[in-house]
Amino acid sequence: MTIAESLEDLRTKIGPKATLIAVSKTKPVELLMEAYDADQRHFGENKIQEMAQKYEVMPKDIHWHMIGHIQTNKIKYMASFVHLVHGVDRPKVLAALNKEAAKVGRIIDCTLQVHIAQEDTKFGFDLDELVEVVQTLGQYPNVRVRGLMGMATFTDNHAQIREEFTALHNAFETYGPDLGWEVLSMGMSGDYEIALACGATHVRIGSSIFGARHYSA
């Protein structure tokens, strides 16, 4: 399938209720432009400088999502344009985002990353840490938390994935109504259908659009 065909296919499966974020990390601008020409306007990257380089050369009506682990010293490269920062996984990131957003006179939207997987390797707040961090959000006037983000365990066990996404959805339902949340970012190429069934509002899909990634040295 071409990129345009893959996007069309995904849009049909996802429907109007969720936003499709095309995860374009490691992919060259020409391929992103193919997606852009097929009307894709939300792109996700996991390295701040790579995203900033693509932002510089691509059309300015794109919404750029930072979906990776945040190095706080790099926030300055995206503060002026980033649309939504998904991977806020520690108070230090909230403080640094607040500071850089204030410098450029913006309020930066983000989601809190919650650790739902049965893997040590995935970042995020635990559910009990989340209780505490939501009480501190008033300290960051230039950051607006819009909801939650999470990644399920990389497994074929659909019941387990469903359980993890359900836990995230429950947390979203617990805090969301009071805090005005509207973003539940969960689901990737391998598990987005389960995520949608569990209430995802944003799915982050890379390889099903752009093909497998090749990491070179």
Ligand X SMILES: *Cc1c(COP(=O)(O)O)cnc(C)c1O
In the beta sheet, which residues pair with residue 43?
Answer: 22, 64
CB 191 within 8 A of CB 10: no
207 in contact with ligand X (CB under 6 A):
yes
Q: How far is the CB of 21 from ligand X (least distance, A)?
A: 8
Greatest pairwise CA separation for the chain in angstroms:
47
Question: In whole angstroms, how large is the CA radius of gyration of the chain?
Answer: 17
H-helix segments, the chain: 3-14, 29-37, 48-57, 91-103, 127-134, 158-179, 192-197, 207-210
Taken as a whole, the chain contains a residue count of: 217
205 in contact with ligand X (CB under 6 A):
yes
Stretch that binds ligand X, among 30-38, 50-58, 136-144, 206-214 (CB under 6 A): 206-214
Stretch that binds ligand X, among 74-82, 153-161, 167-175, 185-193 (CB under 6 A): 185-193
67 in contact with ligand X (CB under 6 A):
yes
Nearer to ligand X, 86 or 169 (CB): 86
Which has the closest alpha carbon to 128: 154, 88, 185, 167?
167
For the chain, the helix, strand and coil percentages under 3-state DSSP, each to the nearest 5: 45, 20, 40
Nearer to ligand X, 12 or 215 (CB): 215
42 in contact with ligand X (CB under 6 A):
no
Q: How far is the CB of 190 from ligand X (least distance, A)?
A: 6
One residue of 23, 51, 101, 183 binding ligand X per CB under 6 A: 23
Q: How far is the CB of 163 from ligand X (least distance, A)?
A: 19
Pairwise CA distance, residues 182 & 199, whole Å:
11
Nearer to ligand X, 142 or 154 (CB): 154
One residue of 90, 115, 202, 204 binding ligand X per CB under 6 A: 204
Stretch that binds ligand X, among 8-16, 129-137, 153-161, 202-210 (CB under 6 A): 202-210
CB 172 within 8 A of CB 178: no
The residues of the shown chain that bind ligand X, judged by CB under 6 A, are: 23, 25, 46, 67-68, 151, 188-190, 204-208
